[in-house]
Structure 1
Amino acid sequence: MTSFQDRERAFEAKFAHDEEMQFRIIARRNRLLGEWAAAKMGLDAAETDAYAKAVVQADFEEAGDEDVIRKLVGDLTSAGVDIDEAAVRAALDEQTVIARRMFIEPQ
């Protein structure tokens, strides 16, 4: 095998690893965001777990974060929580940092 082929395989492996890590970080972020929203809505432990899973599933509906944001704003508003889209986006950013640290920083 040539060094070019070795480098090509190494780049492909790194790309695959990076994509998998990004997927895991986003899934964890969405779970944390669901738990955050569940706390705002006053859900119990079982409801919180189910809701967090629903938020993770909501991200599979379309590309990007808009589907998750819409779900959270709608659910929080329906539950009588006084919140706007900017607050949800701020929470999304905070949970992204936490999720990234969970996977990247050694424990």
Structure 2
Amino acid sequence: MSGLRRRLNSQASMPRGPRVPDPVGQEEEKMSIFPDREAAFEQKFVHDEEVAFLVRMARERRFGLWAAGRMGQDEEAAAAYARSLVKGALDGKTDAELLAEVQRDLAARGVSASPTELQQAMLQAETGARTQVMGADPSALDRR
């Protein structure tokens, strides 16, 4: 037994590895990271929503200008027509409602356009709008 006691006593006096830092301090440090991450996620969400809004408004404008061109409208009338589509989007009209409105307006002018053709034109307008918004200087977006 004395051999066992000696071994236990010698192990008790040996250092047991690196000193463990204060767990309370670590916990506080970890907790301070979460509000920072939460704020970053909120900022990203706000940014993404802002970009989506700008893309949609630019898309409606481009799509309206395309449709006005198909109707043979002059530059001033085309700009007014594009603004009316942007206003419709701001008022909560869905894509389907805007497409139907444009199709009615084209038909009233004697211009035929299939729903597929209109959807493709809207998709092209969205692609151009996304490029415009994503590649634009933020101060240039404020001037439109």
TM > 0.5 fold call: yes
Normalized against structure 1, the TM-score is what? 0.92
Q: Which has the higher contact order (CA 8 A, sep 6+)?
A: 1
The equivalences for 1:65-84 within 5 A come to: 65-84=95-114
In the TM superposition, residue 84 of structure 1 has moved relative to its aligned partner by: 1.4
> Distance between the aligned counterparts of 1:31 and 1:40, measured in 2?
14
**TM-score of the pair, normalised by structure 2:** 0.70
Which aligned pairs between 1:1-107 and structure 2 lie closer than 5 A? 2-62=32-92, 64-105=94-135
Deviation at 1:63, TM superposition (A): 5.4
Identity %: 34
* Contact kept in structure 2, 1:38 and 1:48, CA below 8 Å: yes
The answer to whether the 8 A contact 1:58-1:67 is kept is no
Q: Any gaps of 5 or more consecutive residues in structure 1?
A: none
Provide the aligned C-alpha RMSD in A: 1.6
Which of the two has higher C-alpha Rg? 2
AA matched with 1:58: G
Instruction: Identify the range of structure 1 (19-28 vs 78-87) with the bigger mean alpha-carbon deviation.
Output: 78-87
For the Cα contact (< 8 Å) 1:31–1:56, is it kept in 2? Answer: yes
Q: Give the CA deviation at 1:68.
A: 1.1
Shift of 1:106: 5.8
